[in-house]
A and B are shown apart, each in its own frame.
Chain A
Amino acid sequence: MNDMRLTERAVNAERTKIAARGVQVHYGQTHALKDVDVDILDHTVTAFIGPSGCGKSTFLRCLNRMNDTISVCRVTGDIRLDGEDIYDRRIDPVQLRAKVGMVFQKPNPFPKSIYDNVAYGPRIHGLARNKAELDEIVETSLRRAALWNEVKDRLAAPGTGLSGGQQQRLCIARAVATSPEVLLMDEPCSALDPIATAQVEELIDELRANFSVVIVTHSMQQAARVSQRTAFFHLGHLVEYGDTTQIFTKPSDPRTESYITGRIG
C-alpha cells in the first residue's frame, strides 16, 4: 500500500488477511451481493461505503458468518481468512467469531456490569485460567478501547449506565477481549454524537496497530477520516476498491464519483 499521507501511523500492512473471491449472497429470491472480490489487508482500516441496501453490511456479516443466523440467507463463493475457507464444513462459526470480532451499529452492552461485559467472551472461550488472568484481560481490553481511565473505579457498575460513546467503546473492548485478529464494525458511530464519534474514530486508528479493521459506514467523511482502503458497493456490486486517498480524490468509476460527491443516493 502506497498511501501518500505523510502523517500515517506506521504499521506493516502488506499482508492479505481476508481474501474474498466471487462471493454471492442470496436472501431468498433477492440477489443481495454479486460476485464480490476483495483482499482485506492486515493492520489496515478498510471502509465499506455505499448507499443503503447496497450489500456492504451483508458482505461484512459474511466475514464472520453472522448471516448464518438468517435462515433464508445463502452465501456462495470463497472467503479465506489467512488462507482457510471460513465456509468450510469443518469450521465452527463460534470459533470463527472469536477470531473475527464484531461491533454493531447501536451500542449493545449486555445489561450486566462493565467487568462482566468484557469478561464474557474470554469466559465462554476459556481464555483465562484464573481470576487474575481474567482481570488482566479485562484491563488490557478496556485500555485498548481507551476506556480504562474512565471506568476503572466502577467496573461493577452496569454497562448500560455509560454514555453512548462509552457504551460503544465498551462494546469494542468486549470484542477485543477475545483477542480477535479482525474487527468488523457495522456503522459503529451512527448512534453517537460528534465528540463520541471522534473518540471512536481515534480508537479505530489506534486499533489498526493490532488488528485488521473493517468498517461499514454511511458517512463518507468517516470513511475518509479513518480508513486506508475504501470499497464502494452499489446495487450488490463491488464497484471500486482502492486506497482511500485515491477513492476520494480521483475515483476511477463514474458511479463512485457520483456517490461520493453526492449525486446518487
Chain B
Amino acid sequence: MNTDGHILSAFDRDLETIQALIMKMGGLVEVATLDAARALETRDEDLARLVRDSDGAIDALEAQVNDEVARIIALRAPTAGDLRTVLTVLKIAGSLERMGDYAKNIAKRSGVLAQFTPIEGAAGTIRRMAKQVEQMLKDALDAYIRRDAVLATDVRARDREVDQIYNSLFRVLLTHMLEDPRNITACMHLHFIAKNIERMGDHATTISEQVIYLVTGSMPEEARPKDDRTPYVASPKS
C-alpha cells in the first residue's frame, strides 16, 4: 500500500472519513458484545436495554458508510488500493452491522432468560466466548488500521477457538435439556445466544479476511479454519 497523500487531498479526507466511521462502528459493536454478555450473566435488564438501543446507532452508521462509499465511487472512481479500501469498508460495515444485530438479539434473549433458573456455567462460558470474539474483532480492526495482514491471519485462525467453546457449550446445553425438560426454554435461548456469538466470530473472521484482501489484493487461498462440529452431533456424548 502506498501511504503518500493523493494529489487531490479531498480524496484522502474521504477515505479517512469512511475508515473513521468503521472504527466508530467497531467500537460500538465491541461494547455491545461485551455488555450483552455481561447483562446476561448479571441479569441486568437496564444494561440489556442499553445494548438493544445502541443497535440503532450502529445501523445508522452503516447507512452513513453506504452513502459515503457510494459517493466516493461515483465521484472519485477509486482504483487499486483505494478501490480495495472502499470495497472492504463496505463489506466490513455490513459485517459490523450484522454483529450489532446479534448483540441486540442476545440482549433481547437475556430479558427472557432472567425469568428462568440460571443454567449452571452457561452464562460464564458465553461471557468467555463473547470476550474472545470481542478480542478478535478488536484485533481485526487494529489489523485493518495498521494494514497488518499477519495479525489478520492470526485473527482468522482464532475463530477455531470460538467454535470449540461453542461445541462444548452445545453439548452442555444438550445434556441439561435431556436431564430436565423444564430447562428446555432457557437452554434454547442460551443456544441461540451461543450460536449468535459463534456467528459474530465468523463475521470477525470475514473482517480479517477483508484486511488480508485489502493488503495483498487477493482473498486467503486456504479454507477458513472451522471447528464447528455441531452439525454432526447426535447426542451429548458422541
**Are A250 and B7 closer than 8 Å at their CB atoms?**
no
Report B222 CB to chain A, min CB distance, Å: 19
Give chain B residues whose Cβ lies under 8 Å from the Cβ of A257.
1-2, 80-81
Do most interface residues of chain B lie in helix, strand or loop, or is the interface mixed? loop
A residues adjacent to B (C-beta < 8 A): 220-221, 224, 247-251, 254, 256-258, 260-265
Do most interface residues of chain A lie in helix, strand or loop, or is the interface mixed? helix
Report A50 CB to chain B, min CB distance, Å: 15
**Are B8 and A261 closer than 8 Å at their CB atoms?**
no
8 A Cβ contacts from B80-103 to A: 80-84
Partner of B79, one of A220, A254, A264, A265: A220
Of the A-B pairs whose beta carbons lie under 8 Å apart in the complex, a sample of 15, sorted by A's number, is A220-B79, A224-B79, A248-B83, A249-B79, A249-B83, A249-B84, A251-B80, A256-B80, A260-B79, A261-B2, A261-B6, A261-B78, A261-B82, A263-B4, A264-B4
Interface residues in B, total, Cβ within 8 A: 19
- CB closest residue in chain B, given A251: B80
Q: Closest 8 A-B residue pairs measured CB to CB?
A: A250-B217, A261-B82, A260-B79, A263-B4, A248-B79, A257-B80, A258-B2, A262-B6
Report A59 CB to chain B, min CB distance, Å: 23
Q: How far is the CA of A220 from the CA of B6 in the complex (A)?
A: 15
Report A19 CB to chain B, min CB distance, Å: 28
**Are A250 and B4 closer than 8 Å at their CB atoms?**
no
Partner of B80, one of A221, A260, A264: A260
Partner of A249, one of B2, B6, B11, B217: B217
* Given A249-B217, A250-B217, A250-B218, A261 contacting B79 (CB threshold 8 A): yes
**Are A263 and B83 closer than 8 Å at their CB atoms?**
no
Give chain B residues whose Cβ lies under 8 Å from the Cβ of A262.
6-8, 11
- A221, A250, A265, most chain B CB atoms within 10 A: A250
**Are B81 and A261 closer than 8 Å at their CB atoms?**
yes
**Are A261 and B80 closer than 8 Å at their CB atoms?**
yes
Give chain A residues whose Cβ lies under 8 Å from the Cβ of B7.
262-265
Partner of B84, one of A220, A224, A250, A263: A250
Q: Is B231 at the interface (CB under 8 A from chain A)? A: no
Give chain A residues whose Cβ lies under 8 Å from the Cβ of B1.
257
Q: How far is the CA of A249 from the CA of B84 in the complex (A)?
A: 7
Q: Is B5 at the interface (CB under 8 A from chain A)? A: yes
Task: Flag B208-229 by CB within 8 Å of A: 1 or 0 each.
Answer: 0000000011100000000000
**Are B79 and A263 closer than 8 Å at their CB atoms?**
no
Q: Is B74 at the interface (CB under 8 A from chain A)? A: no
Q: How far is the CA of A204 from the CA of B98 in the complex (A)?
A: 45
Give chain A residues whose Cβ lies under 8 Å from the Cβ of B77.
221
Q: How far is the CA of A257 from the CA of B79 in the complex (A)?
A: 8
Report B6 CB to chain A, min CB distance, Å: 5
**Are B2 and A263 closer than 8 Å at their CB atoms?**
yes
* Given A249-B217, A250-B217, A250-B218, A263 contacting B80 (CB threshold 8 A): no
Give chain B residues whose Cβ lies under 8 Å from the Cβ of A261.
2, 6, 78-82
Report B5 CB to chain A, min CB distance, Å: 7
Give chain B residues whose Cβ lies under 8 Å from the Cβ of A264.
4, 7
Give chain B residues whose Cβ lies under 8 Å from the Cβ of A256.
80
**Are A249 and B80 closer than 8 Å at their CB atoms?**
yes
Give chain A residues whose Cβ lies under 8 Å from the Cβ of B217.
249-250
